Chain A
Amino acid sequence: MYLTFFIRGEEYAAPILRVKEIIEYETVTRVPSTPAHVRGVINLRGAVLPVIDLAAKFGNGETAATRTTCIVVVETRVDGETLDVGLMADAVSEVVEIADEQIEEPPAFGTGIRVDFLAGMGKLDHKLVLVLDIDRVLSPVEIQQTIEAAVLEPAEV
Chain B
Amino acid sequence: MDEFDLNYEELYATFIADAKEDIAALEAGLLALEETPNDAELRRELLRHAHTLKGNASCVGFDSFAAFAHTYEAQLESADALDIPALLNGIDTFRKMLGVAQAFQPAAPGGRSENLPYTSTLRLAVEKLDRMLDLAGEIAILRGRVQQIISARGDDLLVEVERQIDQLQRELQELIMRARMVPVGPLFRQYARTVRDLASAHGKNARLVTRGEDVELDTTAVELLRDPLTHMIRNAIDHGIELPEVRAANGKSPIGTITLDARHEAGTITIRISDDGAGLDRGAIAARARSLGMDDSDRLIFEPGFTTSSEVTDMSGRGVGMDVVRRAIESLRGSIAIETSEGRGTTFTLRLPLTLAMIDGFGVAAGDETWIVPMEHVVECVELPDGESRDDTTGVLLLRDEIVPWVRLRKLFEIGGDTPSRENVLVVQHGGARAGFVVDELHGAGQAVIKPLGNYFEAIPGIAGSSILGSGRVALILDTATIVRNLEMRGAA
| A residues apposed to B, CB below 8 Å | 26-27, 29-34, 40-43, 45-50, 78-81, 83, 85, 140, 143-144, 147-148, 150-151, 154, 157
Q: Are B456 and A32 in contact (CB under 8 A)?
A: no
Residues of A contacting B393 in the complex (Cβ-Cβ under 8 angstroms): 157
- The answer to whether B98 has its CB under 8 Å from any CB of chain A is no
Residue of A nearest to B139 (CB): A46
A46 to chain B minimum Cβ distance, whole angstroms, is 3
Q: Are B490 and A31 in contact (CB under 8 A)?
A: no
Question: Which residue in B134, B473, B487 is a CB contact (below 8 Å) of A157?
Answer: B487
B467 to chain A minimum Cβ distance, whole angstroms, is 9
Q: Are A48 and B466 in contact (CB under 8 A)?
A: yes
Residues of B contacting A49 in the complex (Cβ-Cβ under 8 angstroms): 454
Given contacts A43-B468, A46-B468, A48-B466, contact A30 B369 (CB under 8 A): yes
- The answer to whether B451 has its CB under 8 Å from any CB of chain A is yes
Q: Are A80 and B36 in contact (CB under 8 A)?
A: yes
Question: Which residue in A48, A78, A148 is a CB contact (below 8 Å) of B453?
Answer: A48
10 interchain pairs (CB within 8 A)?
A29-B369, A30-B415, A32-B476, A34-B460, A46-B131, A47-B454, A49-B454, A143-B457, A157-B487, A157-B491
Question: Which residue in A29, A48, A50, A151 is a CB contact (below 8 Å) of B461?
Answer: A151
B134 to chain A minimum Cβ distance, whole angstroms, is 3
| B residues apposed to A, CB below 8 Å | 32, 35-36, 39, 41-42, 131, 134-135, 137-138, 368-369, 393-394, 412-415, 451-463, 466, 468, 472-476, 486-487, 489-491
* Measured CA separation A45–B132 after assembly (Å): 12
* Measured CA separation A80–B32 after assembly (Å): 9
Residues of A contacting B135 in the complex (Cβ-Cβ under 8 angstroms): 45-46
A-B contacts, CB under 8 A, total: 102
Q: Is the interface of B mostly helix, strand, loop or mixed?
A: mixed
Given contacts A46-B137, A157-B393, contact A33 B461 (CB under 8 A): yes
Residues of B contacting A143 in the complex (Cβ-Cβ under 8 angstroms): 456-457
**Most interface-central of A31, A78, A85 (chain B CB within 10 A):** A31
* Measured CA separation A146–B460 after assembly (Å): 10
* Measured CA separation A143–B412 after assembly (Å): 19
Question: Which residue in B35, B394, B463, B472 is a CB contact (below 8 Å) of A31?
Answer: B463
A137 to chain B minimum Cβ distance, whole angstroms, is 13
Given contacts A43-B473, A154-B486, contact A32 B453 (CB under 8 A): no
* Measured CA separation A31–B465 after assembly (Å): 11
* Measured CA separation A132–B443 after assembly (Å): 42
Residues of A contacting B137 in the complex (Cβ-Cβ under 8 angstroms): 46
Question: Which residue in A29, A80, A83, A150 is a CB contact (below 8 Å) of B473?
Answer: A29
Q: Are B487 and A147 in contact (CB under 8 A)?
A: no
Question: Which residue in A79, A140, A147 is a CB contact (below 8 Å) of B39?
Answer: A79
Given contacts A34-B460, A144-B458, A151-B461, contact A157 B394 (CB under 8 A): yes
* Measured CA separation A81–B456 after assembly (Å): 10
Residues of A contacting B458 in the complex (Cβ-Cβ under 8 angstroms): 140, 144, 147-148
